[in-house]
Amino acid sequence: MRRFRYIGAALLLLTIIISCTIGAAQKKKVVLGNQANTVITLADGSKVNRGNELVRMFNAQNPNIDLQYETIGADGRDLHTVVATMMASRSNTYDVFCSDVVWTTEFPARKWFEPLDRIFPKSERAKYIPAMINAWTSNGHIYGVPYSSDFMVMFYRKDILANAGFAPPDTWDDLIKICQKLQNAPELYGFAADWQLHSDCTFDPMFWSAGGALWDDKSITVNSPAGEQAMQLMVDMNLKYKIMQPGPTSMSYGDTRNIFTEGHAIFIQNWLSTYLLSQQPGSKVIEKVGIMPIPRMSANSPKMTPLPMGGWSWSVNPFSPNKKEAFEVIKWLSTYETKKWLATYWASVPAYLPLYQDQEVIKLKPQYSLFQSLAPFAKPRFEKYDHFIEWLDRVRQEANLAILGQQTAKQAVNKLADTLSIWANLPVKSK
């Protein structure tokens, strides 16, 4: 009898070993590629790496998937280079990756995104900032689940304007007059400009506010009077009105943010993260920063100037051998609890609208209340065509030549029109 007990125990042990082996074999590794894995401070005061903590939470709740986190590039341009190269070679290095809203025509056109319609239904999409969903929708399919939104606004020194008796400016002319009246360079510049890379972020809202569009159904129209007016305003801010710091075409976002947070500029047009950084310890402008829309081109322009939009989503690699598991990762990243954690610790602005009503989130991030009213006016910085990265470089090149006085505003927009004509296969309306 004892012999049978031993045999039974041995069989039970063998069964457990086999079951564990099968379970381990079935556990799929999924790699999440994202930007820098920065250190964050949790509610209990402990410090962890942001991506590592996200992965730890997922793996604790999903024992059949081994999620791993890898960082990609230092900024959006680096990340685009890495991911585009990966997709062109049909690599499966990353199963899930963060994707920039400016990729949303290029990648679907090349079949570099896996459609997410099945796991991201329209009923859920209705809960996100509309412009983000519109940007991520192509040919009737959705290719990303947004986790952060961003858009450009105007920040200003509310203490300086209040002390001088000025209200926040309504038009660019109003802003220029305030800058000329109050600036005291080099201690205090009127407008901190960073036109090294994203000149389009300043050109676009000026252009839109003047009634411009890149093209109509029949022809290219970027070189319309609205385009020339917007480009001329950028030129005049530098050469005629002289309200900016030296070198506006050679400074990055970080450079001008530092000028602003050090208290050396009255206005800065920048991403929402500028406000977050301006309120960090060491900033010279804590509790002195106001947020306003981007000024209108004139009093006859629409009441609200559209705001250039940025933002990030989770997407799935179409060449991944682990699509089933990748979808599970996306679904977990899309739960309310995960989105709330990201909104609290990811230092980004939620794309998910219900979070703006979550009192726990607003208590920890009161700046979100300031952002919410502007979110409906966010607009993609591009129209649906497959050359955004090249377009960004082209606008920078031609705008910077004009801003530095090396060509006229009219010449700049005519060259932009010629470029778009080739890409879109449409004639230029007029020159």
Residue whose entry in the numeric block shows the structure tokens 């990340």: 79
Examine the pLDDT at 331 and tell me if it is beyond 80.
yes
SS3 category, 82:
helix
C-alpha torsion 142→145→148→150, nearest 10: 0
Examine the pLDDT at 25 and tell me if it is beyond 80.
no
Examine the pLDDT at 24 and tell me if it is beyond 80.
no
All structural domains of the chain, each given as residue ranges with its CATH number in brackets, are 2-150+310-380 (3.40.190.10), 151-308+382-424 (3.40.190.10)
pLDDT of the residue at 368: 85
Residue 386 binned pLDDT confidence (cut-offs 50, 70, 90) = low
pLDDT of the residue at 75: 66
Examine the pLDDT at 170 and tell me if it is beyond 50.
yes
**Range name among 36-45, 49-58, 180-189, 249-258 with the lowest pLDDT average:** 36-45
Residue 347 binned pLDDT confidence (cut-offs 50, 70, 90) = low
pLDDT of the residue at 384: 55
C-alpha torsion 298→301→194→79, nearest 10: -170
Examine the pLDDT at 314 and tell me if it is beyond 90.
yes
Crossing angle of helices 323-333 and 50-61, in 10° steps, is 110
Q: Is the dihedral angle over the CA atoms 417, 419, 420, 421 positive or is it negative?
A: positive
Examine the pLDDT at 370 and tell me if it is beyond 90.
no
pLDDT of the residue at 14: 38
pLDDT of the residue at 416: 94
Residue percentage of the chain with pLDDT more than 70: 91
Which tokens sit at 130?
């509309």
User: Residue 67 in contact with residue 59, Cβ under 8 Å?
Assistant: yes
User: Residue 414 in contact with residue 219, Cβ under 8 Å?
Assistant: no
Q: Which residues contact 2 (CB under 8 A, 6 or more apart)?
A: none
Examine the pLDDT at 36 and tell me if it is beyond 90.
no
Give the span between the Cα atoms of 51 and 118, in whole angstroms: 26
Residue 104 binned pLDDT confidence (cut-offs 50, 70, 90) = confident
**Range name among 106-110, 322-326, 379-383 with the lowest pLDDT average:** 379-383
Q: What is the pLDDT of residues 265-283, one digit of tens each?
A: 999 999 888 888 899 899 9
Residue 15 binned pLDDT confidence (cut-offs 50, 70, 90) = very low
Residue 346 binned pLDDT confidence (cut-offs 50, 70, 90) = confident
Kindly report each contact of residues 364-369 with a partner whose C-beta sits within 8 Å and lies 24 or more positions away, as own/partner: 367/272, 367/275, 367/276, 367/279, 368/343
pLDDT of the residue at 210: 94
Give the span between the Cα atoms of 327 and 58, in whole angstroms: 13
